[in-house]
Amino acid sequence: MENRITEKIARLKTEKDAVILAHYYVPAEVQDIADYVGDSYALAKIATAAPQKVICFAGVSFMGESAKVLNPDKTVLMPDITADCPMAHMVTPQEILDMRTKYDDLAVVCYINSMAEIKQYADVCVTSSNAVKIVSALPQKNIFFIPDRNLGQFLAAKMPEKNFILNQGHCPIHVRIKEEHILKAKADHPGIKVLAHPECTPEVLQHADYIGSTAGIIDFATASADTEFIIATETGVFYELEKRNPGTKFYPVMDQQLCEGMKKVTLEKIVAALENMEPVMELSADEIQKSKAPLQKMLELAK
């Protein structure tokens, strides 16, 4: 059955001149049929370089929006248009405008996990894999970091010369992982390194041996001689971790490390999207124009 769907997707991709981009958190069978699987930074970059007319984005809404903003002339298909990231809505334009009146010498730094309507008020976007490089290169002393308070706090600790103003956004999935879960996992697997995503809380991150993006976690484990790891991020990464490291054991911290939005993307929905050429990511010309600058600045500064 799965084989037939896979063949159908391959045929539709050629017919429609489509490329399929997938995030590491989508189900394994979707990662398998994708042309590219990556973290949010890699996928944003690939989206700008893909020659195909159609981008089918196996991910959540802010990822499809970024692909559309960076490629306004392309059709961006979202296999499930309701696949969303709650954190991407956790700051308002008004909060940003208020902060701009309060502080001089302020840069508004927007995590890519945010909607275009928010990005348009920011100076620059970042992802977890390029945030340190980008924020440390900014001339401004005051940094309003939106929407993720945990990534913001992680960055603030690395840059004591800057004044970080944090927002209360957070990833509901990563904050499910509590310090007690990490302590239990470490007790269950003594001496094993903990690899964590910076969306985890500081209480969890203090126990991590490596903190990085999904691609960073995968690369760290792959380069290491260790054969067991505790993984503090969404369990979709286990598929690539296990593929690249056969024989290595990867343990989740607890049993709820699942992003419901990412798991909405299925093979059947990809077939339907390619057949019907919908649902399509739509953004107004104004939203595209205004949210492009911070995304493009990210791509330039991250080089």
Contacts to ligand 13P by CB under 6 A: 39-41, 113, 127-129, 171, 197, 199, 213-214
Is residue 65 within 8 Å of residue 282, measured between CB atoms? no
Q: Could you give the C-alpha distances from 69 to 34, 74, 170, in angstroms and in order?
A: 21, 10, 24
Work out whether 37 is an interface residue with ligand SF4 (CB under 6 A). Answer: no
We find the least distance from the C-beta atom of residue 155 to ligand SF4, in angstroms, to be 16
In this complex, which beta carbon is closest to ligand SF4, that of residue 65 or of residue 234?
Answer: 234
Work out whether 171 is an interface residue with ligand SF4 (CB under 6 A). Answer: yes
Report d(CA 303, CA 73) in Å as an integer.
Answer: 24
Report d(CA 79, CA 260) in Å as an integer.
Answer: 15
We find the least distance from the C-beta atom of residue 263 to ligand SF4, in angstroms, to be 9
* 188: enclosing H helix or E strand: helix 179-188
Work out whether 60 is an interface residue with ligand SF4 (CB under 6 A). Answer: yes
Report d(CA 197, CA 47) in Å as an integer.
Answer: 23
Work out whether 173 is an interface residue with ligand SF4 (CB under 6 A). Answer: yes
Work out whether 252 is an interface residue with ligand SF4 (CB under 6 A). Answer: no
Distance from chain centroid for Cα 248: 25
We find the least distance from the C-beta atom of residue 7 to ligand 13P, in angstroms, to be 29
We find the least distance from the C-beta atom of residue 234 to ligand 13P, in angstroms, to be 6
At 234 the three-state DSSP class reads: coil
Looking at 12, 47, 262, 273, which residue binds ligand SF4 (CB under 6 A)? 262
In this complex, which beta carbon is closest to ligand SF4, that of residue 12 or of residue 259?
Answer: 259
Query: Would you tell me how many other CB atoms lie within 10 Å of the CB of residue 4?
Result: 9
State the amino acid at position 47 in one-letter form: A
Report d(CA 53, CA 76) in Å as an integer.
Answer: 9
We find the least distance from the C-beta atom of residue 287 to ligand 13P, in angstroms, to be 21
Out of ligand 13P, ligand SF4, none, what residue 213 binds, judged by CB under 5 to 8 A for its kind, is ligand 13P
Work out whether 110 is an interface residue with ligand SF4 (CB under 6 A). Answer: no
* 252: enclosing H helix or E strand: strand 249-252
Work out whether 204 is an interface residue with ligand SF4 (CB under 6 A). Answer: no
End-to-end, the C-alpha distance of the chain in Å comes to 42
Picking from 66, 62, 58, 1, the residue whose alpha carbon sits closest to that of residue 27 is 58
Work out whether 90 is an interface residue with ligand SF4 (CB under 6 A). Answer: no
Taking CB under 6 A as the binding criterion, the range among 31-39, 165-173, 267-275, 284-292 that sits at the site for ligand SF4 is 165-173
Report d(CA 257, CA 139) in Å as an integer.
Answer: 37
Looking at 61, 71, 113, 129, which residue binds ligand SF4 (CB under 6 A)? 113
Is residue 112 within 8 Å of residue 69, measured between CB atoms? no
We find the least distance from the C-beta atom of residue 3 to ligand SF4, in angstroms, to be 29
Non-local (6+) Cβ contacts of 94 within 8 A are: none
Work out whether 22 is an interface residue with ligand SF4 (CB under 6 A). Answer: no
We find the least distance from the C-beta atom of residue 175 to ligand SF4, in angstroms, to be 9
Out of ligand 13P, ligand SF4, none, what residue 86 binds, judged by CB under 5 to 8 A for its kind, is ligand SF4
Residues that bind ligand SF4 (CB under 6 A): 60, 85-87, 113, 171-174, 199, 234, 259, 261-262
